[in-house]
Structure 1
Amino acid sequence: MNMIAHDYEQNRSWSDQFIPQIKHIVGSHLLQAAPDALDMRQATDLLMLDGKDLRIAARVRRPGYAERFPHQFTVRSRIPSGGETELSKIVDGHGDWMFYGHANPWGGLDRWWLIDLKAFRAALIRDRTGSGTLRCGTQRNPDGTEFVWFDLHSFPQSPSIVVAASR
Protein backbone atom coordinates (compact mmCIF):
# COMPACT_ATOMS: atom_id res chain seq x y z
CA MET A 1 0.00 0.00 0.00
CA ASN A 2 1.44 3.40 -0.93
CA MET A 3 1.89 6.16 1.64
CA ILE A 4 -1.08 8.26 0.43
CA ALA A 5 -3.46 5.29 0.59
CA HIS A 6 -2.14 4.39 4.05
CA ASP A 7 -2.64 7.96 5.33
CA TYR A 8 -6.17 8.03 3.89
CA GLU A 9 -7.06 4.70 5.50
CA GLN A 10 -5.63 5.78 8.85
CA ASN A 11 -7.41 9.16 8.80
CA ARG A 12 -10.66 7.61 7.58
CA SER A 13 -10.55 5.00 10.33
CA TRP A 14 -10.04 7.73 12.95
CA SER A 15 -12.86 9.95 11.66
CA ASP A 16 -15.31 7.06 11.15
CA GLN A 17 -15.42 6.48 14.92
CA PHE A 18 -17.53 9.67 15.12
CA ILE A 19 -20.16 8.57 12.57
CA PRO A 20 -22.66 7.34 15.21
CA GLN A 21 -22.45 10.67 17.07
CA ILE A 22 -22.73 12.64 13.82
CA LYS A 23 -25.79 10.62 12.76
CA HIS A 24 -27.41 11.34 16.11
CA ILE A 25 -26.72 15.09 15.87
CA VAL A 26 -27.66 15.50 12.20
CA GLY A 27 -30.73 13.27 12.53
CA SER A 28 -32.17 15.51 15.22
CA HIS A 29 -32.13 18.39 12.72
CA LEU A 30 -33.76 16.47 9.88
CA LEU A 31 -37.02 15.61 11.63
CA GLN A 32 -39.72 17.91 12.95
CA ALA A 33 -43.03 17.33 14.67
CA ALA A 34 -45.95 17.09 12.26
CA PRO A 35 -48.75 19.64 12.42
CA ASP A 36 -51.87 18.53 14.31
CA ALA A 37 -53.87 18.15 11.08
CA LEU A 38 -51.44 15.58 9.68
CA ASP A 39 -51.23 13.76 13.00
CA MET A 40 -55.02 13.50 13.34
CA ARG A 41 -55.81 12.65 9.69
CA GLN A 42 -52.78 10.90 8.23
CA ALA A 43 -51.06 9.01 11.06
CA THR A 44 -48.05 11.33 10.79
CA ASP A 45 -46.10 12.33 13.88
CA LEU A 46 -42.81 13.35 12.28
CA LEU A 47 -41.83 14.95 8.98
CA MET A 48 -38.50 15.10 7.21
CA LEU A 49 -37.16 18.63 7.02
CA ASP A 50 -36.61 18.19 3.30
CA GLY A 51 -38.14 15.37 1.30
CA LYS A 52 -35.28 15.18 -1.19
CA ASP A 53 -32.07 13.25 -1.04
CA LEU A 54 -29.85 15.26 1.35
CA ARG A 55 -26.10 14.77 0.99
CA ILE A 56 -23.99 15.57 4.01
CA ALA A 57 -20.22 15.92 4.14
CA ALA A 58 -18.60 15.27 7.52
CA ARG A 59 -15.31 16.55 8.86
CA VAL A 60 -13.96 16.13 12.39
CA ARG A 61 -10.86 17.99 13.57
CA ARG A 62 -8.51 16.41 16.06
CA PRO A 63 -8.50 17.61 19.69
CA GLY A 64 -6.98 21.02 20.40
CA TYR A 65 -8.16 22.97 17.35
CA ALA A 66 -11.49 24.12 18.83
CA GLU A 67 -9.72 26.26 21.40
CA ARG A 68 -7.16 27.66 18.94
CA PHE A 69 -9.64 28.37 16.12
CA PRO A 70 -13.07 28.65 17.77
CA HIS A 71 -14.96 30.14 14.81
CA GLN A 72 -13.16 28.56 11.88
CA PHE A 73 -13.88 25.63 9.66
CA THR A 74 -11.50 24.22 7.06
CA VAL A 75 -12.00 22.55 3.72
CA ARG A 76 -9.26 20.57 1.96
CA SER A 77 -8.18 22.47 -1.15
CA ARG A 78 -5.15 20.50 -2.39
CA ILE A 79 -3.76 17.00 -2.00
CA PRO A 80 -0.30 15.83 -3.06
CA SER A 81 -1.72 13.40 -5.63
CA GLY A 82 -3.43 16.27 -7.46
CA GLY A 83 -6.81 14.54 -7.07
CA GLU A 84 -10.11 16.33 -6.64
CA THR A 85 -10.60 17.91 -3.22
CA GLU A 86 -13.55 18.65 -0.97
CA LEU A 87 -13.42 22.33 -1.91
CA SER A 88 -13.61 21.65 -5.64
CA LYS A 89 -16.46 19.17 -5.13
CA ILE A 90 -18.41 21.64 -2.99
CA VAL A 91 -17.80 24.54 -5.39
CA ASP A 92 -18.97 22.30 -8.25
CA GLY A 93 -22.32 21.98 -6.45
CA HIS A 94 -21.95 18.67 -4.63
CA GLY A 95 -23.22 18.31 -1.07
CA ASP A 96 -26.11 20.00 0.71
CA TRP A 97 -24.82 20.27 4.28
CA MET A 98 -21.47 19.75 5.97
CA PHE A 99 -21.14 18.56 9.54
CA TYR A 100 -18.00 20.15 10.95
CA GLY A 101 -16.99 19.11 14.44
CA HIS A 102 -14.12 19.15 16.88
CA ALA A 103 -13.11 15.97 18.70
CA ASN A 104 -12.27 16.09 22.37
CA PRO A 105 -9.50 13.99 23.95
CA TRP A 106 -12.05 11.52 25.39
CA GLY A 107 -13.46 10.34 22.06
CA GLY A 108 -16.48 12.62 21.86
CA LEU A 109 -17.39 15.74 19.95
CA ASP A 110 -17.31 19.19 21.50
CA ARG A 111 -18.01 22.17 19.28
CA TRP A 112 -19.80 21.47 15.99
CA TRP A 113 -21.78 23.15 13.22
CA LEU A 114 -24.09 22.03 10.46
CA ILE A 115 -23.16 24.21 7.50
CA ASP A 116 -25.54 24.88 4.62
CA LEU A 117 -23.36 24.38 1.55
CA LYS A 118 -25.80 26.23 -0.72
CA ALA A 119 -25.43 29.33 1.50
CA PHE A 120 -21.66 28.72 1.57
CA ARG A 121 -21.49 28.67 -2.24
CA ALA A 122 -23.66 31.79 -2.45
CA ALA A 123 -21.34 33.64 -0.05
CA LEU A 124 -18.28 32.58 -2.08
CA ILE A 125 -19.90 33.92 -5.26
CA ARG A 126 -20.88 37.22 -3.62
CA ASP A 127 -17.41 37.59 -2.13
CA ARG A 128 -15.77 37.00 -5.52
CA THR A 129 -18.02 39.57 -7.18
CA GLY A 130 -17.26 42.46 -4.95
CA SER A 131 -18.22 42.29 -1.28
CA GLY A 132 -14.84 40.94 -0.15
CA THR A 133 -16.03 40.44 3.42
CA LEU A 134 -15.16 36.77 3.94
CA ARG A 135 -12.18 36.17 6.19
CA CYS A 136 -10.30 33.14 4.96
CA GLY A 137 -6.81 31.89 4.26
CA THR A 138 -4.75 28.90 3.22
CA GLN A 139 -2.98 26.50 5.55
CA ARG A 140 -0.34 24.15 4.13
CA ASN A 141 0.58 21.00 6.02
CA PRO A 142 4.02 19.34 5.92
CA ASP A 143 2.57 16.42 3.92
CA GLY A 144 1.65 18.76 1.03
CA THR A 145 -2.05 18.89 1.86
CA GLU A 146 -3.63 22.34 1.83
CA PHE A 147 -6.78 23.63 3.47
CA VAL A 148 -8.70 26.85 3.15
CA TRP A 149 -9.93 28.13 6.50
CA PHE A 150 -13.05 30.27 6.79
CA ASP A 151 -14.20 32.43 9.70
CA LEU A 152 -17.89 31.72 10.31
CA HIS A 153 -18.43 35.21 11.71
CA SER A 154 -17.50 36.79 8.37
CA PHE A 155 -20.37 35.15 6.45
CA PRO A 156 -23.55 37.10 5.67
CA GLN A 157 -26.46 36.70 8.07
CA SER A 158 -28.80 35.89 5.19
CA PRO A 159 -28.89 33.28 3.95
CA SER A 160 -27.41 31.85 7.11
CA ILE A 161 -24.54 29.46 6.57
CA VAL A 162 -25.21 27.74 9.95
CA VAL A 163 -28.17 25.35 10.05
CA ALA A 164 -27.46 24.35 13.65
CA ALA A 165 -24.61 24.53 16.16
CA SER A 166 -23.56 22.98 19.45
CA ARG A 167 -23.35 26.36 21.22
Structure 2
Amino acid sequence: MKRILKRRGATALATALLAAGTIAGPTAAEAASAPSSSTATLAPRSPAVLPTGVIISNNNVTFNGGVPVGGWYSLSVFPSGSYSYSGHMHTSGPSYNYSGVCVMRFNDGTAFVFQANGHMAGTWEPGSRNYDWNSSGSRQSIRDAWQASNGGWNVRCNKSVKLDVGSLVNSTVQAVGYVSKVIAIVA
Protein backbone atom coordinates (compact mmCIF):
# COMPACT_ATOMS: atom_id res chain seq x y z
CA MET A 1 0.00 0.00 0.00
CA LYS A 2 1.38 3.38 -0.92
CA ARG A 3 1.80 5.72 2.03
CA ILE A 4 1.30 9.42 1.52
CA LEU A 5 2.67 12.04 3.87
CA LYS A 6 1.95 15.73 3.84
CA ARG A 7 4.49 17.44 6.07
CA ARG A 8 3.73 20.91 7.32
CA GLY A 9 5.74 22.14 10.26
CA ALA A 10 6.76 18.70 11.56
CA THR A 11 10.04 18.44 13.39
CA ALA A 12 13.00 16.48 12.09
CA LEU A 13 12.14 13.65 14.49
CA ALA A 14 8.65 13.15 13.08
CA THR A 15 9.94 13.45 9.53
CA ALA A 16 12.59 10.79 10.15
CA LEU A 17 10.09 8.42 11.79
CA LEU A 18 7.62 8.76 8.96
CA ALA A 19 10.25 8.55 6.21
CA ALA A 20 11.72 5.43 7.80
CA GLY A 21 8.38 3.68 7.42
CA THR A 22 7.51 3.47 11.11
CA ILE A 23 3.92 4.27 10.17
CA ALA A 24 2.40 1.48 8.12
CA GLY A 25 -0.96 1.25 6.42
CA PRO A 26 -3.50 -1.40 7.39
CA THR A 27 -4.28 -4.58 5.52
CA ALA A 28 -7.32 -4.71 3.24
CA ALA A 29 -9.23 -6.61 5.96
CA GLU A 30 -8.43 -3.94 8.54
CA ALA A 31 -9.51 -1.20 6.17
CA ALA A 32 -12.83 -2.93 5.52
CA SER A 33 -13.60 -3.28 9.21
CA ALA A 34 -12.41 0.16 10.39
CA PRO A 35 -14.55 1.32 13.35
CA SER A 36 -15.61 4.88 14.01
CA SER A 37 -16.10 6.54 17.37
CA SER A 38 -18.44 9.19 16.05
CA THR A 39 -20.39 9.71 12.86
CA ALA A 40 -22.78 12.30 11.58
CA THR A 41 -24.80 11.20 8.54
CA LEU A 42 -26.05 13.96 6.30
CA ALA A 43 -28.75 13.65 3.67
CA PRO A 44 -27.70 14.68 0.15
CA ARG A 45 -27.85 18.45 -0.32
CA SER A 46 -28.65 18.99 3.36
CA PRO A 47 -27.01 21.85 5.24
CA ALA A 48 -23.82 20.69 6.90
CA VAL A 49 -24.51 20.35 10.61
CA LEU A 50 -21.33 18.86 11.99
CA PRO A 51 -20.22 18.27 15.56
CA THR A 52 -18.81 21.42 17.15
CA GLY A 53 -15.53 19.79 18.13
CA VAL A 54 -13.67 16.86 19.60
CA ILE A 55 -12.31 17.59 23.05
CA ILE A 56 -10.31 15.02 24.99
CA SER A 57 -9.61 17.00 28.13
CA ASN A 58 -7.91 16.56 31.49
CA ASN A 59 -6.94 12.95 30.91
CA ASN A 60 -4.87 11.91 33.89
CA VAL A 61 -1.68 10.02 33.05
CA THR A 62 -0.13 7.41 35.31
CA PHE A 63 2.20 4.50 34.65
CA ASN A 64 2.22 0.98 36.06
CA GLY A 65 5.18 -0.79 37.62
CA GLY A 66 6.14 1.89 40.10
CA VAL A 67 7.13 4.50 37.49
CA PRO A 68 6.95 7.81 39.41
CA VAL A 69 5.68 9.89 36.48
CA GLY A 70 2.23 11.43 36.26
CA GLY A 71 0.36 14.33 34.75
CA TRP A 72 -2.35 15.15 32.23
CA TYR A 73 -2.95 15.96 28.56
CA SER A 74 -5.70 17.67 26.56
CA LEU A 75 -6.47 17.56 22.83
CA SER A 76 -9.10 19.75 21.14
CA VAL A 77 -9.87 19.66 17.41
CA PHE A 78 -12.55 21.76 15.68
CA PRO A 79 -14.32 21.75 12.27
CA SER A 80 -12.69 25.12 11.48
CA GLY A 81 -9.33 23.32 11.36
CA SER A 82 -8.05 24.71 14.65
CA TYR A 83 -6.46 22.46 17.26
CA SER A 84 -4.78 22.58 20.65
CA TYR A 85 -2.62 19.84 22.17
CA SER A 86 -1.21 20.52 25.64
CA GLY A 87 -0.13 18.71 28.74
CA HIS A 88 2.01 18.48 31.84
CA MET A 89 4.17 15.61 33.11
CA HIS A 90 6.15 15.41 36.37
CA THR A 91 8.63 12.90 37.76
CA SER A 92 9.06 12.43 41.50
CA GLY A 93 12.00 10.02 41.07
CA PRO A 94 14.76 9.45 38.52
CA SER A 95 14.86 11.18 35.13
CA TYR A 96 12.54 10.05 32.34
CA ASN A 97 11.86 10.87 28.71
CA TYR A 98 8.13 11.18 28.03
CA SER A 99 6.43 10.52 24.68
CA GLY A 100 2.73 11.12 24.13
CA VAL A 101 0.83 10.47 20.91
CA CYS A 102 -2.78 11.12 19.95
CA VAL A 103 -3.92 10.03 16.50
CA MET A 104 -7.19 11.37 15.15
CA ARG A 105 -8.45 9.57 12.03
CA PHE A 106 -11.35 10.94 10.06
CA ASN A 107 -13.66 8.62 8.12
CA ASP A 108 -12.03 9.73 4.84
CA GLY A 109 -8.84 7.98 6.02
CA THR A 110 -6.85 11.10 6.87
CA ALA A 111 -5.01 10.73 10.18
CA PHE A 112 -3.45 13.52 12.21
CA VAL A 113 -0.63 12.57 14.61
CA PHE A 114 -0.36 14.90 17.61
CA GLN A 115 2.93 14.11 19.30
CA ALA A 116 4.85 15.45 22.32
CA ASN A 117 8.31 14.36 23.49
CA GLY A 118 10.30 15.76 26.39
CA HIS A 119 12.70 15.17 29.24
CA MET A 120 12.07 15.39 32.98
CA ALA A 121 15.18 15.73 35.15
CA GLY A 122 15.39 13.33 38.06
CA THR A 123 16.24 13.67 41.72
CA TRP A 124 20.04 13.85 41.21
CA GLU A 125 20.06 15.66 37.86
CA PRO A 126 19.94 19.42 37.31
CA GLY A 127 16.93 20.73 35.41
CA SER A 128 13.19 20.75 35.62
CA ARG A 129 11.27 17.77 36.96
CA ASN A 130 8.41 18.87 34.69
CA TYR A 131 7.77 18.58 30.98
CA ASP A 132 5.06 20.91 29.67
CA TRP A 133 3.84 21.37 26.10
CA ASN A 134 1.27 23.52 24.38
CA SER A 135 0.85 23.41 20.63
CA SER A 136 -2.02 25.09 18.85
CA GLY A 137 -2.78 26.32 15.39
CA SER A 138 -5.06 25.86 12.44
CA ARG A 139 -4.74 23.57 9.41
CA GLN A 140 -6.83 23.67 6.27
CA SER A 141 -6.18 19.91 6.01
CA ILE A 142 -8.06 19.32 9.30
CA ARG A 143 -11.01 21.36 8.04
CA ASP A 144 -10.99 19.49 4.71
CA ALA A 145 -10.85 16.05 6.38
CA TRP A 146 -13.64 17.01 8.80
CA GLN A 147 -15.91 18.07 5.96
CA ALA A 148 -15.02 15.11 3.72
CA SER A 149 -15.95 12.76 6.57
CA ASN A 150 -19.18 14.49 7.59
CA GLY A 151 -17.65 14.83 11.04
CA GLY A 152 -16.95 11.09 11.48
CA TRP A 153 -13.78 10.35 13.43
CA ASN A 154 -11.87 7.93 15.64
CA VAL A 155 -9.12 8.90 18.10
CA ARG A 156 -6.57 6.98 20.18
CA CYS A 157 -3.94 8.27 22.59
CA ASN A 158 -0.91 6.45 24.03
CA LYS A 159 1.96 7.40 26.29
CA SER A 160 5.37 6.02 27.15
CA VAL A 161 8.48 6.75 29.20
CA LYS A 162 10.65 4.63 26.89
CA LEU A 163 12.72 5.90 23.98
CA ASP A 164 11.02 3.87 21.22
CA VAL A 165 8.87 6.71 19.85
CA GLY A 166 8.49 5.04 16.44
CA SER A 167 6.73 2.00 17.90
CA LEU A 168 4.43 4.22 19.96
CA VAL A 169 3.42 6.25 16.89
CA ASN A 170 3.00 3.13 14.74
CA SER A 171 0.83 1.24 17.26
CA THR A 172 -1.36 4.31 17.84
CA VAL A 173 -1.89 4.89 14.11
CA GLN A 174 -2.79 1.23 13.60
CA ALA A 175 -5.25 1.36 16.52
CA VAL A 176 -7.47 3.92 14.77
CA GLY A 177 -8.15 1.66 11.77
CA TYR A 178 -7.84 2.37 8.06
CA VAL A 179 -5.48 5.24 7.26
CA SER A 180 -4.83 6.58 3.75
CA LYS A 181 -2.84 9.71 4.64
CA VAL A 182 -0.86 10.78 7.72
CA ILE A 183 -0.19 14.39 8.69
CA ALA A 184 2.17 14.98 11.63
CA ILE A 185 1.66 17.75 14.18
CA VAL A 186 4.43 17.80 16.77
CA ALA A 187 4.27 19.83 20.00
- Higher share of residues assigned strand: 2
- Higher share of residues assigned helix: 1
Indicate the structure whose relative CO is greater, using CA pairs within 8 Å and at least 6 residues apart: 2
Q: Taking structure 2 as the reference length, what is the TM-score of the superposition?
A: 0.23
Q: Taking structure 1 as the reference length, what is the TM-score of the superposition?
A: 0.25
